[in-house]
Amino acid sequence: MALGRAHSVAVRGVDGQLVEIEAYLGRGLPGVHLVGLPDTALQESRDRVRAAVANSGEKWPSRRITLALSPATLPKVGSVYDIALACAVLSASGDVPAAALESTVLLGELALDGRIRGVRGTLPALLAARGAGWGRALVPSASLAEAGLVEGIEVLGAGTLREVLDWLRGVGTLLRPGRTVVAEQSFATDLDEVVGQPEARWALEVAAAGAHHLLLTGPPGTGKTMLAQRLPGLLPPLGDQEALEVTAIHSVAGLLSTEQPLITRPVFVAPHHTSSVSALVGGGSGMARPGAVSQAHRGVLFLDECPEFGARALEALRTPLEDGEVRIARRDGVARYPARFQLVLAANPCPCAPARELDCVCPPTARRRYLGRLSGPLLDRVDLRVRMRALASSALTDEAAENSAAVRQRVAKARVAAARRWAAQGWRTNAEVPGPALRQRFRLDGAALAPLERALRTGEITARGADRALRVSWTLADLAGAERPGRVEVASALEFRDRRAA
């Protein structure tokens, strides 16, 4: 029976699923027929694979070829299956032994001359293969550094189809990943470059310590963007699992570089205010691609001039802010991307944005309409709100402010205290703690909760706002070295909530 078999991986979001590729050489007019829900790129692989096999010095079978990709109900997207398709056909014709194919996952796109091109999603694909019990994977040589990050699976790299076929026949060798050297990722900006604004600097430190969201409003030139850009430098390095999560997302998005295959520091993502909903939360035709919220996973998402963003784009942030992930349903399936990021919003007080409020020419209705683009439900999810003022002339001659390294030490200490406290529940930062847990299992005493209960009675905050104020109070306690928040911490947290955008 002229039947060949190979294996590859389908990546949907950051999740992978093994795909079995069967090639059957039957009777009939010569041709290639693909079954198993292939997309356009996969349909076109028939011509790529046939040309690559011929240009590698092999004979393409002059028979009717049926290629089945299983599971048949799973949509197959992209060109990652090219090498597996070629090997399955040559195995069916008897030109390649099947033994090595039975234990190896094949990933890579073929050029017409037989070269192997890199593909997106190599890292999540190998993680899925390892999780399914496979012990060996073959990847493009261009993706070898990225693939070498996955431990527990043998990784081989090839630059051409000829090299792959020689290895399958036992007459050639393939590349292996070298020792992955991760360069220290440093930040070019420092907090001591920001002039004045002590209140905003303190809010930035609180945000870093508890992974809270932050809104900065004020006239142009007060340092809103500078502060936001320095927030990643206050955050601790990513843990091993976090680094793999972030790197996997950037691999699917095609943003990884061979010089830096592993992302070890929190990223900073700042989309333009003309970005669409798909650009922010993910989307696109076919299988959805990760958007800015997922690219900022475990890092910072900065929306400068946030009132200029479209209303639909801003409201689309509400779900990932609550759930920490994005699920995008498309014709080809549902893609899941992690999206646990820190949101920093920056806004001018009005459309004309003068340096001095006295020079504003906007009527009151225009000011209200401008900041009214930030809906109440969205603002309710922002823990810290700071109104920044124009700099006084004395600020320009003051001594240099505290640098990022000093603040980073306090932030790290506070995060360690929070992680130790929530370890049994699986939470790492105060921002991740659910509201019911704060109100019931970790309830504060009546004296500490008095300011919060008064604010709830008078309607100053919502129930969600109260939960977020409680989270901030725990962060303030961690920064102060206290075991639990008291009345002072709760009142201070409410002050951050009470500050309006205008």
Cα separation, 67 vs 92, in Å, equals: 11
Domain that holds residue 73: 3-168
- Position 500 confidence tier, pLDDT thresholds 50, 70, 90: very low
Q: Same domain for 352 and 470?
A: yes
pLDDT of 186 strictly over 70: no
Q: In a 3-state reduction of DSSP, which class is residue 177?
A: coil
Percent with pLDDT over 90 in the chain: 70
Name the residue with higher pLDDT: 336 or 413.
413
How far from 366 is each of 265, 347, 350, 371, 387, CA to CA, in Å? Answer: 41, 14, 7, 9, 19
pLDDT confidence of residue 181: 55
Contact 8, 81 (CB under 8 A): yes
DSSP state of 438: I
Residues 139 and 217 in one domain: no
Whether 146 and 219 share a structural domain = no
Q: What digits encode the pLDDT tens for the residues 251-266?
A: 999 888 877 788 999 9
Structural domain contains residue 490: yes
Any residues with CB less than 8 A from the CB of 257 and at least 6 apart, and which? none
Residue burial 413-438, b: 16+ Cβ < 10 Å; e: rest: ebbebbeebbeeeebbbbbbbeeeeb
381 in the same domain as 348: yes
Asked whether residue 186 is assigned to any structural domain, the reply reads no
Q: Is residue 245 part of a domain?
A: yes
b/e map 347-375, b = 16+ CB within 10 Å? bbbbeebbeeeeebebeeeebeebbeebe
Residues 88, 209: one domain?
A: no
* Domain membership flag for residue 26: yes
> Structure tokens of 360?
């504003």
- What six digits make up the tokens of 216? 């900065």
Residue 446 is assigned to a structural domain of this protein? yes
Highest mean pLDDT among 149-163, 346-360, 397-411: 149-163
Shared-domain flag, residues 116 and 228: no
> Does residue 466 lie within any of the structural domains?
yes
Whether pLDDT at 1 is above 60: no
- CATH code, domain carrying 434: 3.40.50.300
pLDDT, average across residues 353-371: 80
Domain presence at residue 173: no
* Tally of domains in the chain: 2
Q: Is residue 261 part of a domain?
A: yes
CATH number at 147 reads: 3.30.230.10
Q: What is the pTM of this model?
A: 0.90
| Same domain (yes/no): 134, 204 | no
Q: Is 143 in the same domain as 237?
A: no
